[in-house]
Amino acid sequence: MSSYPEDKITKGMELVEICDRILAKAKESGGNIVYSSAKLGRRTKLPPRKEDSQEVKQLKDKLSKLSKRGHRDVVEAVFAFARTIEAKDHITGNHVERAVRYATEIAKKLKLSERDIEHIREAAVLHDLGKIGVSDKNLNKKSKLTKKEFEEIKKHPQIGVDIIRPIHLMHDLIPLILYHHERWDGKGYPAGLKGEEIPIGARIIAIADVYEALISNRPYRKAYSKKEAIAIIKKEKGTHFDPAICDMFLKIIEVEKEK
């Protein structure tokens, strides 16, 4: 909690800002506790809030303004903004379109409900939205990423869901976007979920995402052939990927090869 005039603020939003910083400190202490600036000491001692990148700030500001027009306009705007990723990661644009196609096809073959299929399609469109908060230098680096650089890349699912979180109509997409880098064996990120703890939509997007990344040129390597990519996918069955979803994806690829 924060209060006026005790916290010596001059604007209403400063109440929210200082309260947010106090909340961060309470979480660091394990949560389930009431904190105030008085308990923490002088305001200058509060932990600094990590600022969003300029691009993330701009996107959040646009969505905030659009929200006054109605949720559907905001949803449509988010999908339009997702295209801005192409300006940061020139490969991602086409990659996303193909990943969406595979993810949607897997969902249909698994006979999921129309509602779930649509959520998976939408989440697949937005799964890399958070890359607007990742530096161009790291996205386009031609050599191996350092541990610190990879940690920044790993933040993109969280950045993506932070952007869409205020939009009620998109809440069902949040788990699919946040967990699309989790692994079946529990060695993924950001939460280390394992097996069926991972939402099925996220498991579907994961395999479509990885396959499309493998057959795409990257700044640090040339694209694998489809044959090589399929071999890698098969090898990762039961470790990286849900075995049942992996089998269904491989059937789709086989049918595609026959056409």
Is residue 43 pLDDT above 50, yes or no?
Answer: no
Catalytic residue among 131, 137, 144, 259: 131
What is the topology classification, in CATH, of domain 54-258? Hypothetical protein af1432 (1.10.3210)
Give the integer Cα–Cα distance in Å for 95 and 11: 45
pLDDT class of 115 with cuts at 50, 70, 90: very high
Q: Sign of torsion, CA 88 204 207 225?
A: negative
Q: What local confidence, expressed as pLDDT, does residue 28 receive?
A: 67
What percentage of the chain carries pLDDT values higher than 70?
Answer: 79
**pLDDT tens for each residue of 212-248:** 999 988 888 899 999 999 999 999 999 999 999 999 9
Tokens of 207: 């395999």
In whole angstroms, how far apart are CA 33 and each of 26, 30, 40, 225? Answer: 7, 8, 12, 54
Q: What local confidence, expressed as pLDDT, does residue 51 receive?
A: 66
Residue whose tokens read 């350092």:
146
Q: Is 60 a catalytic residue?
A: no
The whole-number average pLDDT for the span 17-27 is: 77
Give the integer Cα–Cα distance in Å for 118 and 237: 25
Give the integer Cα–Cα distance in Å for 91 and 213: 9
pLDDT class of 6 with cuts at 50, 70, 90: confident
**pLDDT tens for each residue of 59-80:** 777 666 655 555 566 666 677 7
Give the integer Cα–Cα distance in Å for 227 and 172: 35
Per-domain boundaries in the chain: 1-50, 54-258
pLDDT class of 83 with cuts at 50, 70, 90: low
